[in-house]
Amino acid sequence: MNVRIAIPEDAKELLSIYKYYVENTTITFEYDTPTLEEFENRIKNTLVKYPYIVAEENNKIYGYAYASAFKGRRAYDWAVETSIYVEVDSSKQGIGTLLYNELERYLKLQNIINVNACITYPNEKSENFHKKFGYTTVGHFTKCGYKFEQWNDIIWMEKFIGEHSIPPKDIILFSELNLK
């Protein structure tokens, strides 16, 4: 299994993975599957500031992960939200671990300090996955997401991957990292 940086041309395969989660789960609170063009733009826009990566083998993508802004204000620049999606029939094969290890490696290069995950609760599989990576639960929000005719709770889990120095190191945009 190989991990590489996503490209907009991956959108069709990534969208096929994501579509299952949109249409069948509360793992994402998105109601409608995005269009191909919208998904291509999400990849392009994310890659300016944050990593967006895929796990593939024999030219087939089995999962992807990316980071996004935790909040829009400058004071939050050192914190991100992480997201990961693995093809539903390919779970428990180490793909998520491979993706998260690489995602963290890139985020550390960018001087990101806090990584945060928003998880629909309960979701024991995702909670345990994040705990394995050193995340701890820092917040529980009750009935804040409505999907599939039910109210859903969420939890926030957090992990520090860097030091909280004063002043903090400048953030390096993902598009400006020298990855060669």
SS3 of the chain: the string is CEEEECCHHHHHHHHHHHHHHHHHCCCCCCCCCCCHHHHHHHHHHHHHHCCEEEEEECCEEEEEEEEEECCCCHHHCCEEEEEEEECHHHCCCCHHHHHHHHHHHHHHHCCCCEEEEEEEECCHHHHHHHHHCCCEEEEEEEEEEEECCEEEEEEEEEEECCCCCCCCCCCCCHHHCCCC
8 preceded by cis ω (within 30°)? no
Domains, the chain, in order of start with CATH, read 2-176 (3.40.630.30)
Tens-digit pLDDT profile for residues 64-80: 999 999 999 999 999 99
Q: pTM for the full model?
A: 0.95
Task: Write out the two tokens for 74.
Answer: 């400058």
Minimal CA–CA distance to 13: which of 49, 57, 48, 51? 57
What integer is the mean pLDDT of 2-20?
98
Q: What's the confidence (pLDDT) of residue 180?
A: 67
Name the maximum alpha-carbon separation found in the chain. Answer: 48
Query: What pLDDT, in 10s, does the model give residues 111-148?
Result: 999 999 999 999 999 999 999 999 999 999 999 999 99
